[in-house]
A and B are shown apart, each in its own frame.
Chain A
């Protein structure tokens, strides 16, 4: 995970805070907020507060301003002048209170993007002027600021970092991201949106805060919501056993896979499906409340709180397959042929078959080698070394 780009505050020198004009919508929002306030309950900004001044007996609204010193009886014009001098703090308040709003996941995510719960406004505005970069799965999100204190976000594939916007397909509507996540680079359907197979070549160059959140949630649905819950200490994890126990219909059979015989089979599932090479979520579910799996959960920034539908579907298939009893088959293979079978399984499992060069016959999973093996060892029914799969097939012959 990348850290906020600017560290100038920590290095001792004052950050270069950009010059910010106070937009009228931000000032109007302040006046609107003050209309509900009393002097004892001021509107607080970083470093100062304002409140209505209710002591006056004139018609015009007056205000109290406090930043250590306390000034009373300010007219609206004087308040505007005072706030304009502190436009970074006011626009920061406006951004998070009014533009971003209170919805927990959105607010927490956008604050996290610029470390708003840790750094001062001055530090953040200086960093935003440079551009703050964060990683989220395969995304790179760059937050910047306009001279009116508005946030702008560039959302793109991390592989496209540094590529000029006009060399990428640019989008404005965050829901367009639905198209971008549908197929991988080879044009294959992606059933799991958190698979590390997001294709690049596109950019959302100038999203506002709400749209940036929407784009991220469209590309990786519910990841912000679960990350937020985790940060609040409220992530609800459903472990393997309880998740399988609630399955019904065609998935009900999965329950028969757990027979009080340990959890090695679930280790196999997690290693097959939930590895970082297959899914960017960090697996937080275990076998049950008391039994951790032996397999590492991965390093993803967003948590996985229960076995997903891809895992449940695969587990259903494995439940069927694992109910079979092993048999002893007798094959004759040369040592190289045995290794070649191992190479082929490896290459398919790791998705490497496209990387194996056509004429590279040193590779066991090379296509010519595989075709040679098939020609030499398979009979007309496709049986390896002519050995039938079912015993009764043999007896028929």
Chain B
């Protein structure tokens, strides 16, 4: 019996934080690829500490719904799941390449496959592009458009920026958008000056965040100048200094994210049958025909 456990941050203050986790779990559940799909949280229930004891399967895949490798994926989650003998070197990662480690979870005395975070998976690149499609309503968006992939960025953890650069580079290589830039909230180049980095009249701004919350709903819209005060709201697109900015909100809310969660489990050995194709079909952007 094959079980999937999606672990995410959650919030004491805001229900939107866990909403994408539940949505992606539902999408994956509907494929029938796993006998059960469970969710566990740092700030909500069931907690990381207790989620595994609610799991029935003998093949358990744990996928962190986090953007980058770092404190949560390397310390908090393995500690709270009680992965016996966990050492981050098991991933042998350069900050982008964590795939999976198979360890016994002491809580249930069974092996689990602990996967790398969704944000650094190659399939995440497609989700960012898909986000641009869904926010513009155009499955072929690209020509005449710039794309800004925006991350938090922090001086404290270089991995945070690595994921942003990785996906921005991969999208740029596809020559689909006229321009692609990686921008940050807390380090240079800063998203505040977005129009300065683009020549295109239209720019899609995709924040590489898992859930909509303070950063994506308040900080970024105000910093970029989509609105003076986030409570006033803003249009999509909104013109700032002559550039039409198509603000996408957190990429993690895009339905195709379910695909990345499944890819992570598949990389760790899960048998998904044709479920990946089903997910890509059900989460695609309608052409309006």
Contact = CB atoms under 8 A, between A and B. Distances in A.
Given A221-B54, A226-B50, A182 B43 contact: no
Contact of A191 (B13, B46, B56): B13
B244 to A, nearest CB: 35
A178 B76 contact: no
A353 interface: no
A309 B51 contact: no
B214 interface: no
Interface string B30-54: 0000000000001111110111011
A222 interface: yes
B26 A249 contact: no
A237 to B, nearest CB: 12
A236 B56 CA distance: 19
Interface string A179-215: 0001100000101111000000000000000000000
Contact size range, B = 20 to 34
Given A222-B46, A248-B76, A309-B47, A217 B26 contact: no
Contact of B51 (A175, A178, A189, A222): A222
A194 B47 CA distance: 13
Given A105-B54, A189-B14, A189-B15, A246 B49 contact: no
Contacts of A225: 50, 53-54
Interface of A: 103, 105, 175, 178, 182-183, 189, 191-194, 217, 221-222, 225-226, 229, 236, 246, 248-249, 305-306, 308-310, 313
25 contacts: A182-B15, A189-B14, A189-B15, A191-B44, A192-B45, A193-B45, A194-B45, A217-B54, A221-B50, A222-B45, A222-B47, A222-B51, A222-B54, A226-B50, A226-B53, A236-B107, A248-B75, A248-B79, A249-B71, A249-B76, A306-B49, A308-B45, A309-B42, A309-B44, A313-B12
Given A306-B49, A313-B43, 12 more contacts: A189-B13, A189-B15, A221-B46, A221-B54, A222-B53, A222-B54, A225-B50, A226-B50, A229-B53, A248-B76, A249-B75, A249-B76
Interface of B: 11-15, 22, 26, 42-47, 49-51, 53-54, 56, 71, 75-76, 79, 107
